[in-house]
Structure 1
């Protein structure tokens, strides 16, 4: 028996960090939404009691460092599952890009194994388990559009944004999320208006969404990696309506409302950046499978 599960990427339309918590995590407020850039996770039932991971992408670990492996292992141990699974991850989402690719693969594994192993868990139960694996996994279990609070695991569903194009560009560098958070000076950041972003999305106010996009981690990453700032500048120059770095980076995304401008932005970025994508904003929880 085999199950194929879609694992879409996410972008942060707004990302604020409020404080550092006693447990070492940061208290955040984020508005996240899914986009039509997705990995595919295939789950095949094994009679042997083991978890196998495979991927053609050499940057994807095939052992317990993989979040999909961890997701399967948590379910297996918690519910005393004696069957095994072979997990094949077909990567489309760039690795270590600020797009929650690994978290989405883990969430897809949770959803798929819930069916494959007949666990009959609700999405809420899967999201709670996902929060033990990674801060973004809870959101990725649901997909759609949400305000995430706490360390990112408390999910408050909101209406999807108005449909538009999303152009993404990832430079050929890696960014350490820990380093970015470690250099974040909360006494001097410009906090985005997260509440205003939620309201703009609720009102389907595209111009308001563009004006309110913000990410407190962006300034840190731009100082560490000037090439990210160059991509932002080029994306604005080519005509994107609004431009922001997603997560801790290094991927930059731009919103484009009109089809006529999309090709100009996409082609312009392809001139100096290898990993460029033009996809639709999904934002709806029903696009998971």
Structure 2
């Protein structure tokens, strides 16, 4: 049996530069893997069988099934797989769980079926599945550009602690598309924010004040209950709060574990779904 981890992520920066002629948006984003991971177990089989320990997760609605089908087509394999997924990343949370699992599927089948594709080829295949998938092939700290297909590894951050607050909100299936549709002229930026954040990372001193998410203002307008959760996060002791991806998860990054633990416990005492995790380097 082959077992792989599929880590969550947060966008330290997420800039939308402009809408492209092909209908996609040009992005510039610095992404960071987290130690909150789903676990995928692969074993040989004559047919494809996918299961999960989460009752809310549906294989046919996930990128996982699409990843198995696409990889089978690309490598010319008609071999089966028994795939079991232990879900730990909250669903539809903005933490990239579905894309991360899809990337793990590509890496796992590449090993299980002996295809021998290099990392760059897996990233090409991943780009056909979704914008975040190429990043998850690599993981760690990276700059993502284009619509997600261009990923440049960055120096690994000195370990930091992240507290995640997952609001108890029912999010629409087209959440990300809705955010894109509602972007305003002032939502678009030049990429300079990510450049400044990149400079601070390369100098070994991440400046949290530079964290930025183009979706944040729009998300708080479309889902006004997020305001309540943000205030409760502040009351728990957080001071620099960002939206994770397309949300609704909110997060704060800290260098001091004790402070992170206090914020985490304060949130848990209030009955919130919260996680205390650390930043993560690239996975093999």
TM-score range, shorter chain: over 0.9
Offset from partner CA, 1:88-131 (integer Å, 9 cap, x none): 11100000011110000010111111110000011111011000
Residue 178 of structure 1 is matched in structure 2 by 177
Match of 2:266 among 254, 265, 268: 268
Could you tell me how far apart the structure 2 residues matched to 1:242 and 1:257 are?
12
Deviation at 1:83, TM superposition (A): 1.5
Match of 1:138 among 107, 111, 134: 134
Offset from partner CA, 1:145-200 (integer Å, 9 cap, x none): 11101111210111122211100011122251111111111x12274711001111
Could you tell me how far apart the structure 1 residues matched to 2:160 and 2:111 are?
33
Residue 150 of structure 1 is matched in structure 2 by 146
Deviation beyond 4 Å, 4+ runs, structure 1:
none
Residue 38 of structure 1 is matched in structure 2 by 37
Residue 123 of structure 1 is matched in structure 2 by 119
Match of 1:56 among 46, 53, 56: 53
Residue 238 of structure 2 is matched in structure 1 by 240
Could you tell me how far apart the structure 1 residues matched to 2:21 and 2:188 are?
23
Deviation at 1:15, TM superposition (A): 0.4
Could you tell me how far apart the structure 1 residues matched to 2:193 and 2:43 are?
44
Residue 212 of structure 2 is matched in structure 1 by 214
Residue 74 of structure 1 is matched in structure 2 by 70
Partner SS state of residue 193, structure 1: helix
Residue 229 of structure 2 is matched in structure 1 by 231
Deviation at 1:273, TM superposition (A): 4.8
Match of 2:162 among 142, 163, 166: 166
CA contact (8 A) 1:51 1:69 kept: no
CA contact (8 A) 1:161 1:202 kept: no
CA contact (8 A) 2:17 2:188 kept: no
CA contact (8 A) 2:155 2:201 kept: yes
Offset from partner CA, 1:185-238 (integer Å, 9 cap, x none): 1x12274711001111111113x2x11001010011111222322222332333
RMSD: 1.6
Deviates more, 1:148-157 or 1:227-236: 227-236
TM-score normalized with structure 2 length: 0.93
Residue 97 of structure 1 is matched in structure 2 by 93
Structure 1 unaligned regions, length at least 5: none
Match of 1:252 among 229, 250, 253: 250
Could you tell me how far apart the structure 2 residues matched to 1:117 and 1:189 are?
44
